[in-house]
Amino acid sequence: MTGFLWSVSLVVALLWPSRTLSIFDGLPLSGTAEAIGFGVVVPTLWLIAPRFLDQPLTRLGIMTLLAVKVAGSLLLPQEGFCARFQTTAPFHNRVLTIPIDEPRGVLRSWDVRADWRADVPACTAVVDRPYANWSAFPVWFLNFTDFLDLPDRVGVRTPESARHLTVDVRGVITVPESGEFRVELGRDMTASGRIGSTDVSSAGGQDLRVPLAAGSRDVVLHFDLSADQWRFVPLWNGRDAFQAVSVTTTRPGTIDRIAASCCRFAIVSIVVALLLGWSVSVVTHYASEPALLGWTVVASAALIWCAMTAWGERGAGLLLLGAVAVPLGRSQRNWRGAMMLVGIPWLAFFVVRAFSQVGHVSMYSVDDWLAYQVAGYRIFMNGFWLEGGNRVFDYQPLYRWMTGLLHMVFGDSSVGEVYWDAASLLAGALAAFTIVERVAGFRWALGAAAATLATFSMGTIWYFVGRGLSEIAAAGFAFSAALTILHAGKRWPLVATAGILAVLTFYARLNHLLFAASLAILWVPLDVPAAWPRMVRALRTLDLRPAIVYLATLGIGVGLFALRTWWYTGVFSVLYGTSLKNNDSGLRLSTIGSLDVWKRIAHSLSSLVSMNEPPSPDIRALLVVFGVILSVLALLQVPRLSRLPVSIAVVTVGAALSSFVAHTHAYPGRMSIHLVPLAVAMTVVAARSAFGIRVTDAQRDSLGRRAPA
């Protein structure tokens, strides 16, 4: 419990928005260093070396960082300019069934430092850096202003030439000596206003230039924005004004400026010390494993090069198969060793691949991606916390809340979705690793993890990473639930956590209900075969209480979902108003003999297993195909194959059960994501068994379970 509290304290201290601008100034994570450092590096270090938080100096650093930020929030003026974006009032639009209403025409940015929940905000964003082009502006809202709702069909994007926005920028610039304050503008901007005592105006991209004497000067500017040639780069004597002089939203005093400098220095110093100390502790821990450290560095460099050049990037996961050959001491043959060998290079690849997205707006395609994003705005900015954008969920429920939360962390950028998706797929690889390790040993488990990532990167699933759909998020929750079950035993807090993760799996993807329930089979030891006599004997001695608590938690979550539907519609149902009406396979007791129904089910199953739509053979799906076939045959008691683990077989088949309910169409690979690690794990376990070593012959593995050496 103490470790949990310190972990939460660390997160709060790092993310707390600082009043002073720096490379680590907290929410929103719109700078490269903080987006990568807080969004990827810190979570990775926490997974590999959580005990670093137990050290007294670490805890002192966390509390000092939090104290400095809180004190700054109470005592210092906010650095940066205050910006207020608007369009013609009242503004109303509907984007893919999601209504957006801003009666005063206010256009809100994802910036917790601004008045993001006020009816009449003074600031909708804090300008904390130069904007070199339109996508650097905090204008995520263009996704719903540049949209025309059509009642008879899906809406369309409006041309950039039709844009007309206004932004008011105000603040105070404090300069130590005489010089020139210049603001570079884009040609699609017109400006007017006042800097100090000088009236200024500009059109067609002409710079604003004002000589200033030493002291503080008010800056009040109004801009009309059209099209997309925008630029806002404040300079002091040719240097970035945000770094060269003091820029604040209100007039600072002398003490404020001194205190701000001290606060900024303290924040950067503490964060750098924490990151360096943590990294050194990891290197020190693995100092006796030079091959592991060397592979991690070389593999990360190779994948970074692939991401930078886009050459061979689809083979990123395939390259990680080389980790199987890395010599490793027995004490490091565990999931953290696997994280070092395949996890860090995988994450490094996506950090570099998504580098250009940090601090920049994405324009979403007109489909589910856009719907989830706009629903997130309605939830977080307009306060529809329970409604979630719609009274019924024609689009999947949970991901709309997730998009809003990720934007609250990463600002108008969508880079957080890339990080989340990459981490979720990595969780699948670690789930495959943990399952295989217990019955086939570390090397085979590492191969399963790398093969899972290779299937993700080489197959059709690839283009979903960062795509902003709910499938990877739902699969990530399911993988996390599986990992929690495999570690839980009878530790009731972990059992409850697994149940909550199962509920989140269902909320993120409603057709995963049966799959989430099937994960309970993982409480059956992985050395129990599918052969009926031995399986029955094992089940008779199994303590079912953890599985019952897990399923009860899932049941409560399903009931609460139905209760919410009843609250808004008067219908107590899990399925009412959902997209099942568009995807229903039609399977009922009354239609069980219908050839059309079974054709749809066959289409869904073959699409799921082949990772293609329409279904077609694909060598990249071989491990998935083999895993599903082996699981089915094991449960059908085929000789020799019935010796395969029943829990892997059941959960793999459970991942395919939704195909009997919902008919898959469009988006190749979209419905296969959650199946891949489980099917790959079964294929690898069967391959290990085929080499003449029974899967039930085992020694103790790194988790204290039985597994071959």
Contact 338, 452 (CB under 8 A): no
Pick from 676, 48, 40: nearest CA to 420: 40
Please give the Cα distance from 490 to 527 (Å, whole number): 18
Would you state the torsion angle of the CA atoms of residues 538, 544, 548, 551, taken in this order, to the nearest 10 degrees?
Answer: -20
Res. 697 pLDDT band, cuts 50 70 90:
very low
Strands (E), 87-162: 91-95, 98-102, 106-107, 125-127, 147-148, 156-157
Helix (H, G, I), strand (E, B) or coil at 191: strand
Pick from 460, 38, 575: nearest CA to 267: 38
Give the CATH fold of the 81-251 domain. Answer: Jelly Rolls (2.60.120)
> Token pair for residue 207?
């710079």
681-702 average pLDDT score: 67
Cα–Cα distances (Å) from 189 to 165, 173, 231, in that order, read: 10, 22, 8
The 10 Å CB-count burial string (b at 16+, else e) for 659-697 is bbbbbbeebbbbbbbbbbbbbbbbbbbbbbbeeeeebbe
Residue-level pLDDT at 260: 95
Percent of the chain with pLDDT over 90: 80
Please give the Cα distance from 203 to 425 (Å, whole number): 49
Please give the Cα distance from 465 to 451 (Å, whole number): 17
Strand bridging mode 81-86 / 106-107: antiparallel
Residue-level pLDDT at 701: 41
Question: Does pLDDT of 373 surpass 50?
Answer: yes
Tokens 């990595």 correspond to: 426
Res. 190 pLDDT band, cuts 50 70 90:
very high
The pTM is what?
A: 0.94
Pick from 208, 201, 206, 211: nearest CA to 180: 211
Q: What is the pLDDT of residues 205-237, one digit of tens each?
A: 999 999 999 999 999 999 999 999 999 999 999
Q: What is the pLDDT of residues 554-570, one digit of tens each?
A: 999 999 999 999 999 99
Residues in the chain: 709
Average pLDDT of the chain is 92
Tokens 């683990």 correspond to: 645
Is the dihedral angle over the CA atoms 635, 639, 641, 643 positive or is it negative? Answer: positive
Task: Indicate the angle between helix axes 622-635 and 595-610, nearest 10 degrees.
Answer: 130
Question: Does pLDDT of 709 surpass 50?
Answer: no
Contact 677, 479 (CB under 8 A): yes
Res. 705 pLDDT band, cuts 50 70 90:
very low
Tokens 């194959």 correspond to: 641
Res. 692 pLDDT band, cuts 50 70 90:
low
Res. 621 pLDDT band, cuts 50 70 90:
very high
| Residue scoring higher pLDDT (274 or 316) | 274
Cα–Cα distances (Å) from 125 to 89, 112, 249, 304, 411, in that order, read: 19, 8, 11, 33, 10
Please give the Cα distance from 292 to 304 (Å, whole number): 18
- Long-range (24+ apart) CB contacts under 8 A made by 400-405 are 400/371, 400/372, 400/375, 400/376, 401/376, 402/376, 402/473, 402/508, 403/372, 403/373, 403/375, 403/376, 403/468, 404/375, 404/376, 404/377, 404/379, 404/380, 405/376, 405/380
> Token pair for residue 173?
């610039």
Please give the Cα distance from 175 to 188 (Å, whole number): 29
Res. 192 pLDDT band, cuts 50 70 90:
very high
> Token pair for residue 597?
């129904």
421-428 average pLDDT score: 97
How much is the CA Rg of the chain, to the nearest whole Å? 27
Please give the Cα distance from 101 to 384 (Å, whole number): 12
- Listed by start position, the domains of the chain span 2-76+258-285, 81-251, 291-362+413-707
245-266 average pLDDT score: 94
16-34 average pLDDT score: 96
Contact 38, 90 (CB under 8 A): no
Contact 519, 478 (CB under 8 A): yes
Question: Does pLDDT of 614 surpass 90?
Answer: no
Helix (H, G, I), strand (E, B) or coil at 180: strand
Pick from 90, 86, 99: nearest CA to 163: 86
Question: Does pLDDT of 699 surpass 80?
Answer: no
> Token pair for residue 231?
């630029």
Question: Does pLDDT of 106 surpass 70?
Answer: yes
* Bridge partners (DSSP) listed for residue 700: 706
501-505 average pLDDT score: 97
19-36 average pLDDT score: 96
Residue-level pLDDT at 583: 83
Pick from 496, 435, 489: nearest CA to 677: 435
Contact 250, 257 (CB under 8 A): no
How many other CB atoms sit within 10 Å of the CB of residue 153?
Answer: 6
DSSP per-residue letters across 247-312: EESS---HHHHHHHHHHHHHHHHHHHHHHHHHHHHHHHHTTT-HHHHHHHHHHHHHHHHHHHH-SS
| Contact residues for 693 (Cβ-Cβ < 8 A; gap 6+) | 708
> Token pair for residue 229?
């040639």
Res. 708 pLDDT band, cuts 50 70 90:
very low
Please give the Cα distance from 450 to 474 (Å, whole number): 21
